[in-house]
């Protein structure tokens, strides 16, 4: 089942005027950052002035989703434009199957230098042959080093007279939190979202987490100033993305909205309309096709699973509107839980999310929840201090709301149905509500049809096949689009 000769037909598209200067691209990617912390998405406490300014100057995507809320699957989906089912990257720390093509393969023939600076977490190299500018430190603020390397790259591109596409992968907001200025936040004054239990440990983590988000925002502002100073700003597509949600509970490692829904703002002078909000469902797989079209190229049908959202930036409608976005999670290859089988699958439209937990009688967990699970089982953790999730467990004995959230850490029903228009934090499961019977049936049918098309009709069997395997190296790419 090999899709052969997924080659790019490199000729100008109709949108590119003959002789027009090709746009440059700068894409800045955070690391485990929930979008609701940004002011552009309604965050009121975390300081993100540069991201918020960018949203005002350009476009904000309100329903942008990834397929898997983990780093390696997210990034390979972003760079390839292909779903993780197709690249063989459903688990974290996985590598794409042989034959996977990426944005590098598509932009280089158009004259671009395509570089990656900072965090990578993709492979193998033949699938993602970026011009590597090197990783940066997580132990200290990497912004100055990132900026210096970016400057050098920009200077070199100017000398060679090449348009460029630069991806910058920050480590900010990935635990452990080590950068930024925690003194900018007062733990006692922070508002705790309703999907978390308010404990001193949580507030302490929120302060450090917010500090790293602001440090990331500083990088966004620094790169913008650099482009403006070099008179590149007006011909650069400038994109900022939050990646998947935070490592704090109910985001990363789940199929909840806080995990799969990504923050995404961008500006392209003369194309994006200032302050515009794109409400269409958009997938991470759409970024590569959009960049290729913007650069004047055309992808052969089937090369990517996504589609260009360039018309949306111009205020136009897509020829084919996306009705659903799909999500997945696999518990294997996560620290402390490498052999636990607990797959999750999800489907969303513009109003509802349906989450399917086929192994619901078992438990789900990850490294951040292991101590809480130990406490629930034995109520003892030795001399260890309580981490964030574990600090919720004692509260569960006194508070019914805390009890429900602690239970939700590791136990999920077979189906979870949420009305995002009324319940954006997915706290009220409507799967057993007779008023939503038709909606539940419709989404279940559409999800199962999609999983069958992807060769994943039995997620438990899929996950068992992944436990202990070495990734996607031996698998062949699926013919089926994601």
Whether the link from the prior residue into 6 is cis, omega within 30° of 0, is no
Task: Compute how many other C-beta atoms are within 10 angstroms of the C-beta atom of residue 339.
Answer: 10
* Mean pLDDT, residues 153-166 taken together: 95
* Same domain membership, residue 231 and residue 346: no
What pLDDT, on a 0 to 100 scale, did the predictor assign at position 388? 94
Q: How far apart are CA 148 and CA 416, in angstroms?
A: 47
- Residue 173: predicted pLDDT: 97
Residue 406 binned pLDDT confidence (cut-offs 50, 70, 90): very high
Average pLDDT for the chain: 92
CA 54 – CA 59 distance, rounded (Å) = 8
pLDDT average, residue stretch 362-389: 85
290 falls within a domain: yes
Instruction: Assess whether 252 and 353 both reside in one domain.
Output: no
Mean pLDDT of 28-39: 97
Task: Compute the CA torsion angle 289, 291, 297, 301 (nearest 10 deg).
Answer: 0
Three-state SS string over 61-116 comes to: EEEEECCECCHHHHHHHHHHCCCHHHHCCCCCCCCCCCCCCCHHHHHHHHCCEEEE
257 lies in the same domain as 383: no
Per the domain annotation, does 139 fall within a domain? yes
Task: Cite the beta strand spans of 268-411 per DSSP E.
Answer: 276-283, 298-299, 325-329, 344-348, 352-356
Give the helix/strand (H/E) hosting 371.
helix 370-378
User: Among 345, 342, 344, 310, which Cα is nearest to 324's?
Assistant: 345
Domain hosting residue 42, numbered range: 8-12+22-322
Instruction: Note whether 334 and 289 are same-domain residues.
Output: no
Q: What is the pLDDT of residue 421?
A: 97
At 267-292, the pLDDT tens digits run 999 999 999 999 999 999 999 999 99
Asked if residue 478 is part of any domain, the answer here is no
Say if residue 8's pLDDT is above 60.
no
333 shares a domain with 284: no
**Over residues 161-184, mean pLDDT:** 96
Kindly tell me if the per-residue pLDDT of 43 is higher than 50: yes
Banded pLDDT at 379 (limits 50, 70, 90): low
**Poorest-confidence range of 15-19, 147-151, 324-328, 475-479?**
15-19
- Identify the three-state secondary structure at position 298: strand
What is the predicted pLDDT for the residue at 214?
98
**CB 109: neighbour CB atoms within 10 A?**
13
The predicted pLDDT at position 73 comes to 97
């Amino acid at each position: 089942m090999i899709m052969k000769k997924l080659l790019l037909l490199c000729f100008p598209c109709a949108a590119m005027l003959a002789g027009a200067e090709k746009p440059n691209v700068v894409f800045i990617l955070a690391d485990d950052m929930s979008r609701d912390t940004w002011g552009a998405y309604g965050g009121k406490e975390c300081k993100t002035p540069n991201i918020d300014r960018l949203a005002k100057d350009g476009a904000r995507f309100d329903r942008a989703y990834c397929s898997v809320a983990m780093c390696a699957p997210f990034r390979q989906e972003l760079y390839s434009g292909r779903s993780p089912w197709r690249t063989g990257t459903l688990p974290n720390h996985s590598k794409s199957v042989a034959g996977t093509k990426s944005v590098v393969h598509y932009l280089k023939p158009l004259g671009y230098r395509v570089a990656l600076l900072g965090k990578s977490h993709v492979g193998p190299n033949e699938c993602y042959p970026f011009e590597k500018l090197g990783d940066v430190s997580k132990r200290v603020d990497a912004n100055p080093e990132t900026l210096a390397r970016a400057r050098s790259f920009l200077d070199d591109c100017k000398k060679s007279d090449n348009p460029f596409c630069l991806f910058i992968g920050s480590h900010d907001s990935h635990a452990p939190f080590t950068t930024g200025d925690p003194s900018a936040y007062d733990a006692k004054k922070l508002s705790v979202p309703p999907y978390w239990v308010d404990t001193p440990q949580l507030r302490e983590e929120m302060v450090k987490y917010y500090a790293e988000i602001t440090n990331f925002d500083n990088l966004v502002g620094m790169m913008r100033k650099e482009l403006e100073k070099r008179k590149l700003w007006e011909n650069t597509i400038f994109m900022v993305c939050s990646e998947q949600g935070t490592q704090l509970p109910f985001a990363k490692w789940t199929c909840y909205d806080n995990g799969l829904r990504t923050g995404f703002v961008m500006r392209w002078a003369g194309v994006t309309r200032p302050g515009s909000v794109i409400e269409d469902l958009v997938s991470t797989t759409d970024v590569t096709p959009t960049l290729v079209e913007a650069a004047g190229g055309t992808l052969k049908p089937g090369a990517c699973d996504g589609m260009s959202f360039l018309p949306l930036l111009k205020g136009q409608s897509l020829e084919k509107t996306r009705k659903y976005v799909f999500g997945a999670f696999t518990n294997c290859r996560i620290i402390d839980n490498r052999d636990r089988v607990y797959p999750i699958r999800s489907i969303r439209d513009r109003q509802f999310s349906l989450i399917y937990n086929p192994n619901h009688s078992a438990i789900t967990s990850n490294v951040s929840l292991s101590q809480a699970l130990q406490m629930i089982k034995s109520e003892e953790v030795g001399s260890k201090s309580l981490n964030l999730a574990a600090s919720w467990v004692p509260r569960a004995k006194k508070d019914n709301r805390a009890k429900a959230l602690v239970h939700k850490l590791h136990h999920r029903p077979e189906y979870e149905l949420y009305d995002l228009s009324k319940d954006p934090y997915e706290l009220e499961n409507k799967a057993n509500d007779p008023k939503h019977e038709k909606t539940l049936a419709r989404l279940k049918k559409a999800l199962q049809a999609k999983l069958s098309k992807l060769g994943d009709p039995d997620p438990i069997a899929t996950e068992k096949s992944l436990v202990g395997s070495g990734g996607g190296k031996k698998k062949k790419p699926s013919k089926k689009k994601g």
